[in-house]
Amino acid sequence: MNSNANRHASFFWALILIAAGLVFLAPNFYPAIHPWVVIAHYWPVLIILWGIAKLFDAVQARLHPETAHPPLFTGTEVVLLILLLLFGTLISRIVLAPWGQHWRSALGVQLGSGDWENPFLNSYVFGQTLSILASPKPLVLIEDPHGNVTVEGSETTKLDATIKETIGARDRKQAEKIHSRLKLQWSSADGRYTLEPYHGKLPRGGADVRLDMALSLPLASSARVTAQHGAVKVAKLAGPVSVQLTGGSAEIRATKGGVSVQGRGSDVEISDASGPVSVNGDFTGSVHLAHLEEGVEFLSSRTTLHAGRLPGKLVMELGSLEISGIRGPFDLSTRQKDVDVQDFKGSVKIADQDANVNLSTGALPTEPISITSTNGDIRLALPAASSFSVDATSDHGEVSSDFAGLKVDQQGPQPFMRGSHGHGGPTIRLTTSYGTIRLMRQDVGKIESSRGNIARLMPALHGRSFTQSRLTAARVVKNSGKEMATQLLPRTVTPPSATKPATAKAMAMR
């Protein structure tokens, strides 16, 4: 092995050790510097330096062809590179991602102050309050605050704002100078009230300033919030609410006007809204919608959803969508997302790719139902008294039905199910490829659920007396359906030793 290459490698790792020591030594003299934040931001520099060292070795090899040189990467170095990539990515996720706040606290980063954006500055907190008389139905605009925004309606005729300023600066004198330049104020024109974030020139364009706002507005107010990297909360307003996110989250509840959330961010939660609701954008967290009295619209790069009303709730995660209590017309198009819809009414149209679709309702169907899936299963459970006509096809899959009178053909590459049940009723179209279609009776679903409950319960019943087992099983079946009370009771044999002597003797004689 080339001795020069060994010296180069030793020199490279010596520099790494020196740099790591300096990073962890710096907080002893400059407490605002957080070593793990510096590492999370700049760890890819190690790979760049390593590449430069390898490039230098390659140049040396060309200049000295007579000397034997080691390979570009040894097996040990490949393993080390993989570990470095995994470790660096993990640290960045933990320290810098919004969901990792508790980890950042454990690593010594002060949260809520914005100092993780510039670890070389100290944080200073200031506060101010602003108030202005408002018109009967004001429109309030909050534009581009870097921080959290809370807006709540109250019995007041004024617009009140309490603002917490967190300023990153080298020292308090510089922080006070930045604070004096902020000069937040209300401006009004024709019933529109704007809270201006800052005036004047600020260092780095105000990137080291975080503004957390709490606003109290008249109940009849409308609000438009444009926020960056913060949480927006709005509650108890009668007018329309619009939120534009660039990172961060939105929580909107108890509103009477329309609600609109746009942009990109993490979590979105909207509940108890009387007006139409629209969510448009890509959100990496979860979307919670509940108790929405008018139309619902959700648009993203993967999912398009329209619904008449949502008196129940909707929970959308990265790979799943669960809905209960939706009211049609309900139109959903998505991909790579398992869909579970319970207690639906009205027309339904669902198109899904590479995922399963499961629908169940206790209401008799009166509107068309159309479900299309690619590489996924379809399960539809309807009441036994339902009336409908069905046309179902599974390309290279299977079909089955719990309803009598339907033609089910399992032969060939495209099994199908066709026919009518009951008198009249809507049309049901079910189509999938490489998946199973099952049309179920709602009571059959309940029976299967009861059997599963009892099967899970039996290990816990082991060792109990006959009376305890019988009563417990009976309670489970009673909750699931009276028609199964006798059929599903487990047959328990009580050994003679567990009975009274006279009874045991009588049993032994039988």
Burial 264-281 (b: 16+ CB within 10 A, else e): ebbbbbbbebbbbbbbeb
Query: pLDDT category, 7, cuts 50, 70, 90?
Result: low
Which is more confident, 138 or 3? Answer: 138
Element (H, E) at 504: helix 501-509
- Give the span between the Cα atoms of 338 and 318, in whole angstroms: 10
- Residue 468, strand partner residues: none
What are 275's two structure tokens?
A: 């007006």
Smallest Cα–Cα separation from 259: which of 245, 279, 289? 279
Q: Residue 215: pLDDT above 90?
A: yes
Least confident of 184-198, 220-234, 253-267: 184-198
DSSP string, 184-231: -EEEEETTEEEEE---S--GGGGTTEEEEEEEEEETT-EEEEEEESSE
pLDDT in tens, 171-214: 899 889 888 888 788 889 888 999 876 655 676 667 778 889 99
Residues 6+ apart with CB under 8 A from 17: none
Q: Residue 278: pLDDT above 90?
A: yes
Would you state the pLDDT for residue 463?
A: 42
Would you state the pLDDT for residue 504?
A: 39
Q: Residue 477: pLDDT above 80?
A: no
DSSP three-state, residue 70: coil
Least confident of 182-191, 247-256, 326-335, 459-468: 459-468
Query: pLDDT category, 346, cuts 50, 70, 90?
Result: very high
- Give the span between the Cα atoms of 228 and 211, in whole angstroms: 10
Residue type, 297: E
DSSP string, 303-369: -EEEESBEEEEEEE-SSEEEEES-BSSEEEE-SS-EEEEES-BS-EEEEEESS-EEEE-SSPP-S-E
Burial 408-429 (b: 16+ CB within 10 A, else e): beeeeeebbbebebeeebbebe
Would you state the pLDDT for residue 89?
A: 84
Q: Residue 479: pLDDT above 80?
A: no
Smallest Cα–Cα separation from 142: which of 62, 30, 222? 222
- Average pLDDT of the residues in 323-335: 95
Q: Residue 349: pLDDT above 60?
A: yes
The backbone torsions φ and ψ at residue 328, rounded to the nearest 5 degrees and listed phi first, read -75, 175
What are 55's two structure tokens?
A: 């490039």
What are 501's two structure tokens?
A: 């002597």
Q: Residue 447: pLDDT above 70?
A: no
* Distance from chain centroid for Cα 102: 18
Would you state the pLDDT for residue 432?
A: 96
Percent of the chain residues topping a pLDDT of 70: 75
Would you state the pLDDT for residue 209?
A: 85
Query: Do 203 and 245 touch, CB atoms closer than 8 A?
Result: no
Q: Residue 268: pLDDT above 60?
A: yes
- The residue assigned the tokens 């605002």 is 32
Would you state the pLDDT for residue 66?
A: 65
Would you state the pLDDT for residue 100?
A: 42
Would you state the pLDDT for residue 24?
A: 81
Query: pLDDT category, 424, cuts 50, 70, 90?
Result: confident
- Give the span between the Cα atoms of 138 and 142, in whole angstroms: 13
Which is more confident, 51 or 151? Answer: 151
Query: pLDDT category, 14, cuts 50, 70, 90?
Result: confident
Smallest Cα–Cα separation from 56: which of 122, 11, 116? 11
pLDDT in tens, 290-325: 999 999 999 999 999 999 999 999 999 988 999 999
Would you state the pLDDT for residue 216?
A: 96
> What's the sign of the alpha-carbon dihedral 89, 91, 93, 96?
negative
pLDDT in tens, 37-93: 788 888 888 888 878 877 877 777 777 776 656 666 677 778 888 888 888 888 777
Arithmetic mean of pLDDT over the chain? 79
* Distance from chain centroid for Cα 273: 20
Bond preceding residue 329 cis, omega within 30 of 0: yes
Query: pLDDT category, 113, cuts 50, 70, 90?
Result: very low
The backbone torsions φ and ψ at residue 49, rounded to the nearest 5 degrees and listed phi first, read -65, -40
Q: Residue 456: pLDDT above 50?
A: no
pLDDT in tens, 365-412: 999 999 999 999 999 999 999 999 999 999 999 999 999 889 999 888
- Average pLDDT of the residues in 136-158: 91
Which is more confident, 502 or 224? Answer: 224
What are 313's two structure tokens?
A: 């709730």
Q: Residue 160: pLDDT above 90?
A: yes
Query: Do 36 and 95 touch, CB atoms closer than 8 A?
Result: yes
